[in-house]
Amino acid sequence: MRARHKVLLLFVAALASVRLHATGADTSTVPEVDTSACTSAISASDDDRIIGDCGALIDHEKTAKADRLKALVARGGAYARKADVERAIADYDAAIRLEGDQADLFNARGELWWKKGDRPKALADFGAAIKLKPDHQLARGNYRKLARELERLGALMAVAGKPSFNCAAARRPAEKTICANPELANLDRQIHAVNIRVVREAQSARERQALQREQDDFIARRNADFGKPGYDLLKVMRDRLQHLLGADGY
């Protein structure tokens, strides 16, 4: 993350310099503001100094646009490394208002939105970065990973509260109880999914058969014992899931 922000800083600084000369701006008429403290802090990769010294540069009303942009990106990176996501996003917001056509800035802010848990905003920022720079590899990679994550979440939401079997065909009391209880239903689906993985990853056909028999026996005992005095279906199912997860190496 630190290396990525350094690259971003160098890119922003170079771009600002090019634009300044391309427009033929007369720098002699711009009041000088001392940028040395901020620049030194950036070179030293000292986040506390960056926040303080670059913050002073950002707040100075006479700071040139290029220097303000560089300081905002630097301070945003420092806040991000300190896990102060809100302030980091605020600095990237301000930087984007100054230079709204920088793919790196959108990608960096998208990563912060993702870290915060706001996936729609993160996806929008990654998309904006790609639109500005179609070959932006980091943004394209982030977009793909986040899109897959959203697909998985959507799939999980679609089956939330549903067991591994068809409740319309449930006949046994244990099955009907599982169908009526979302927590039990989710546990049943997890048990079923983990068991499939454990069986699939077994080293031999004999081991796969033994593992499946174990699962079949668990279901048979569950159905037979449910309703007996002291029988705790929730505990039994949690124990079974934990056993499978242990067998699966997690």
164 three-state secondary structure: coil
Question: pLDDT class for 28, splitting at 50, 70, 90?
Answer: very low
- The fraction of the chain above a pLDDT of 70, given in percent, is 83
| Cα 2 to Cα 150: distance, rounded to the nearest angstrom | 27
Residue 42: per-residue pLDDT? 94
pTM of the model: 0.55
Tokens of 40: 């030194």
Q: 156 pLDDT exceeds 90? A: no
Tokens of 217: 């026996």
| Cα 22 to Cα 19: distance, rounded to the nearest angstrom | 5
| Cα 78 to Cα 55: distance, rounded to the nearest angstrom | 11
> For the residues 145-164, what does the mean pLDDT come to?
74
According to the 3-state scheme, what is the secondary structure of 85-146?
HHHHHHHHHHHHHHCCCCHHHHHHHHHHHHHHCCHHHHHHHHHHHHHHCCCCHHHHHHHHHH
Give the H or E element holding residue 79: helix 65-81
> For the residues 36-56, what does the mean pLDDT come to?
94
Query: Are the C-beta atoms of 199 and 250 separated by less than 8 Å?
Result: no
Q: 20 pLDDT exceeds 50? A: no
| Cα 110 to Cα 122: distance, rounded to the nearest angstrom | 4
Question: pLDDT class for 138, splitting at 50, 70, 90?
Answer: very high
> For the residues 2-17, what does the mean pLDDT come to?
55
Exposed e or buried b for every residue in 202-238, given b needs 16+ CB within 10 A? Answer: beeeeeeeebeebbeebbeebeeebeeeeeebeebbb
CATH hierarchy code of domain 2-156: 1.25.40.10
**Domain spans of the chain, in order of start:** 2-156, 167-247
